[in-house]
Amino acid sequence: MRIQDSVDLDFSDRNGRDGMSGAGSISPMLVELYDSHKQYAQDPENHSHSREIVCGQMTDLLSVASRVADREMVTDVLVTLLRQSEKELKSALAERLALLPNVPLRLLLQLLNEDIAVARPIILNSPVLNDLDLLYIIQSRDTTFWQAIAARRFIKENVVDALATTHDVPTAKVLVENETITLTDFSLRELEELAMQNEELAKPLLLRSDVPESVARKIHEHVSRDLKDFTSSQFGSTVSDADQKEVQDVINDVLNEFVTPRMSGDSFMPTAAMLRAADMFMQQGKLDVTLMVRTLKRGQISSFIAQMSVFAGLDAGVVISLLKQHNGQGLAIVARACEISNEDFMSMFMLTRRMVNADGVVSSDNIGKAQSYYNRINSYLAKKILKRSQH
């Protein structure tokens, strides 16, 4: 039986039962869709134009089929048409349907049975897919589908865990680069093991703000051994001893910041290599607030102090004493003088509390005082105060 015959039979059957309501208004649209689809199949030279018409008619049909019976009939027809359609039409329709909130799941599943080139927009964006649908896809499909799910916004913890247990490095890399999700303790354990064996995964994992310090240190301790071995093997006779020492000092500085625990009593004094790096960033025009906050989020407090010292023109010891203030007054003055935004100021204040307490805990009273100091002091006065302290 041809599609048109099945459509005609369905129309007459429904019209006989329900009169002209519902199906009667949809019938002409279905006939138009059938004609357009036939034109699309028979006229390859105008595929692009015909494809747009077919996609528009399909989405229009779904929007006007309000009754359950009508939607089932429309879905039946659309699924039948999709089975006979070429990949380009399926891809175009998938992009359209991925944005609609009330698409019949059966229609989406028909498209999800295609390869990832067709299915990707639905997996990435469709609000119709729930956790069970995503978990089923993880169980039944391959890494290309897993990566698409891992890139989806705000996926739930059970889906995150399921993706982590695939032990697929490309999927894990997409997952840890997705800033809209939260990594669970379970998924972190799984990803930690993978990261120990794969530096491409270790880097984005360490940049996440929700990765516990204990996990970050463990990964860095493992990576540091490989990195030191690599640099030792790469230095040849063409590299001077001074250059080799400079590179090794930088590597050791960075690794030690992650691997060696710092207690609140430590000075956090930056090394000469850290200060030279900050100077280099400044000379190249790359030393800005974004870089400094990013450095803090990685837990590199000593490097941040070096950067702030150069950025604000203060001695590193002065920066340390300001950051150790419980109420944030000194940091607020520097922030106002250097035109650092309120949001970045609060990030700096919160991320340096480990200098005061080993656990980084700060009282709500001190948070309020820091915010109050920032709000009260104006830029002009802050610059005058800062100028008196600059070296």
The pLDDT confidence band at residue 245, using thresholds 50, 70 and 90, is low
Return the structure tokens found at 269: 């004094």
Report pLDDT for 225.
Answer: 60
| Range name among 195-199, 252-256, 261-265 with the lowest pLDDT average | 261-265
Report pLDDT for 362.
Answer: 86
Count CA atoms closer than 13 A to 194's CA, side-chain side.
Answer: 24
The pLDDT confidence band at residue 208, using thresholds 50, 70 and 90, is confident
Average pLDDT over residues 200-219: 79
Give ∠ CA 198-199-204 in degrees, rounded to 5: 110
Contact 50, 18 (CB under 8 A): no
Contact 296, 265 (CB under 8 A): no
CA distances from 189 to 39, 161, 193, 194, 247 (A): 55, 10, 7, 9, 32
Return the structure tokens found at 13: 């059957």
pLDDT over threshold 70, residue 256: no
Average pLDDT over residues 293-310: 90
Report pLDDT for 58.
Answer: 85
pLDDT over threshold 70, residue 342: yes
Contact 359, 324 (CB under 8 A): no
Average pLDDT over residues 33-41: 81
Report pLDDT for 249.
Answer: 64
**pTM exceeding the 0.85 threshold for the entire prediction:** no
- Where are the chain's structural domains? 1-114, 264-389
The pLDDT confidence band at residue 298, using thresholds 50, 70 and 90, is confident
**What's the chain's average pLDDT?**
82
Contacts 24+ apart (CB under 8 A), 135-140: 135/159, 135/162, 137/112, 138/162, 138/163, 138/166
Specify the DSSP class assigned to residue 222.
H
Report pLDDT for 11.
Answer: 33
pLDDT in tens, 111-166: 999 999 999 999 999 999 999 999 999 999 999 999 999 999 999 999 999 999 99
For the chain, report the end-to-end CA distance as a whole number of angstroms: 89
Average pLDDT over residues 100-108: 91
Average pLDDT over residues 35-48: 76
Report pLDDT for 14.
Answer: 38
Give ∠ CA 207-360-377 in degrees, rounded to 5: 95
Instruction: Convert 106-140 to b/e letters by CB count within 10 Å (16 or more is b).
Output: ebbbbbbebeeebbbbbbebbebbeeebbbebbee
